Structure 1
Amino acid sequence: MAGLCAQRVVAITGAGRGLGRAHALAFAAEGARVVVNDLGVGLDGTGAVTGPAQQVAEEIRARGGEAVAHGGDIATPEGAASLVATALDSFGRLDTLVNNAGFLRDRMLVNLGEDDWDAVVRVHLKGHFLTLRHAAAHWRAEAKAGRTPHARIVNTSSGAGLLGSVGQGNYAAAKAGIIGLTLVAAAELARYGVQVNALAPAARTRMTEHAFAETMAAPAAGEFDAMAPENVSPLVVWLGSAGSAGVTGRVFEAEAGRITVMEGWHPGPSDDTGARRTPAEAGATARRLLAAARSPQPVYGS
C-alpha cells in the first residue's frame, strides 16, 4: 500500500478506541504497518479485555492493510518491552512510536486520593517513559550498528498539561510532565536519528465526551464534525513520517481544522540589580515585572 508512511512500522498505545484508533486507521491508510496496543480498560483504568485492540487490527486488515494487536500493559517494563518486540517480531522493524494510552480519575485536590494520583501518573507519564526508553534503546543499537534510523516518537499531552484543568490535578501534572520528557528525549536522542514531538489534542473521546456534550451540539448531517478524533490524526501521521525531517522537540495543539505550534516558556520582563534585594524590594520588582508581562491563559474550568 502506497502512501506517506509506506513500509513504516508504527506502534500506537491506547489504539483500541478514540484518538488512538483514529491514528491507527490513518497510519494504515498511508501505508504503515501498525501494532495496535490497547489494554482494554474502562475509563477509570479498571478491567481489561483484548477486544478493542483486536477489533482495530481486524479493521485495518479488512481494508487491505497490515496490523497486529498487542494487549500488554505499557506502564510495566515487560509490557513496554513486548510492544517493541511485537513490532520487530511481526514486521522486522520499528519506525514510529505514538504514545497515546491513558485514563482519567478526576477529583478536586482536597478529595484526590493517593491511589488515584498514582494510577493516572503511572499510565500517562510512566507509560510514555517506558515505551520511549525501550524504543530508544532499539534505535540506539541500530545507529551504533551503522543503520541510523529515521525514527519518530509522538507523545500525547493535553491542554490540561499546558494550562491546567480544575478537577484534574493528577492528569494535568502527568501531561505537563510529558512535555518535559519530550524536550529531554528530543535533545538526547537526536544523535541516534530519533525525532520526538508532543501533541495536545482536543477531540470527542470517552475521556472528553461529557465535557463536549455540555458545550457543543452534535453536527447536523453533512456538517463538519469539529470534535471528531479523525481531525487530529493527519498531524500525528505527518509527525510520524519521514516527511517531518528536522522537526523535533516541538509541541503542537490540534483541534478541528486548527493546528497551533506552542511556544512554551520564554523569559519575559526581567530586572537585575547586581546585588541582593530585601524582601520588600523583591516584591516591588516582582509587581513591576508582572505589570509588564503578558497575562497567563486561564485554567480550564476556572
Structure 2
Amino acid sequence: MMVETQEHHHGFFSTVVNNEYATLWSLDYDDGHLITVISQDEFSVKLIEQKMSPIFITACMVGGIHWPVTRDAPVIRIGRWSFAFAMPGLLYGLQFPPNCRDAMLGELVMFFEKFAHFEDYREKLTGIPFPLPESEADFWTASRSWIERITHPKLVQYGHCPGKSESSIWNQATGSLRVHRMSTVTHNVAEYILSGALKPTHINIQGMRSRLELDNSDAYTEQIFPSISAFTTVVEAVEMFGMTSKGKTGYVPKQPDMVLVEFLDFKVWTLKGECLINQMKKVLLANWAQGNSSKKHGDESWKESEKQN
C-alpha cells in the first residue's frame, strides 16, 4: 500500500495513498451552519514517523490543506466516494470524483481501518437510505445532521466535546478559519517530529496499561497513536490567545479533555507542558502573519521545513 517513503534526519515521511483530485468541505459549526468548499486539488495521505521512538502522526491533504487522522476521532464512509471526519470543533467532508479508482478507495479504507475510528455507513451495508444521492449539489447540507448523529456520540465516548468550541464562539472564528488553523497545527506537529524537536518528555501517554507500566522503557517500543487532542489543544490555545489579546477575559479555557482510558485498546499520546504549546503557538502565529498556511502547497511545506533543520 505504501507509495513513497522519504528518510529525514529524525524520521520518515511516507505517502500512503494519493489521488489526482478531491474536494474538501468544511461543515461549519457557526450559527448559519455554512458548508464551504475549502480546497479542490490533489489528495494524499501521509504517515510521519520518528526514528528513535514509536511516535507518529497520520494526516490527509487536499492541496495545501492538512488535517489529522487519529484513532480517537471518527471517520465515516457515507457513500461510494464520500467520507466525513469529525473532531472537536471541526467537521469535514471529503468527496472524490465518480470516476476515481476503486483500488485507491480500497487502500484508503484499509488506512482508515488501521489509523482511525472508521465505520462504513453506505446504504448497501446498513440498509439506511441517504438523504440525497452523492451526485446532488446539496448532498452535504442534507447529510449534515445525519453525520452529526453518528459521529458526536463517538467523540463523547473518547472524552471529547463535539460541536463548536467555547473559544471559537467567543472570538467568532469561522469554521473555515479553524480548518486553516488546524492545517497549520498539523503541519507544525509533523515538523516537530521530523526535526526531532518532539521528544518523549513533551508527551503524555494513555492506554490500558498502568502509569507504572507506561513509564517503563518498553512502553516506548510499541506503536503509540496520536490523540486528536494533540492538535485541537493547540488550536484552542491560539484562539484563547486571540481572545485575550482583544480584551475578552470572560472565558477561562478548560484543561484538554483526557481520553477515556477504559474505552481504549490502544495507546495514545497527547502534548504536555505549556512550554511546548507556547513554542508551537509562536510558530503558528508567525506562519499566519506571513501567510504561509495559504501560500505553501502540499508536500513542499514539509520539504522546506526539513531543509531548514
More helix by share: 1
Bigger relative contact order, structure 1 or 2 (CA pairs below 8 A, ≥6 apart): 2
More strand by share: 2
Same fold per TM (> 0.5)? no
TM-score by length of structure 1 reads 0.28
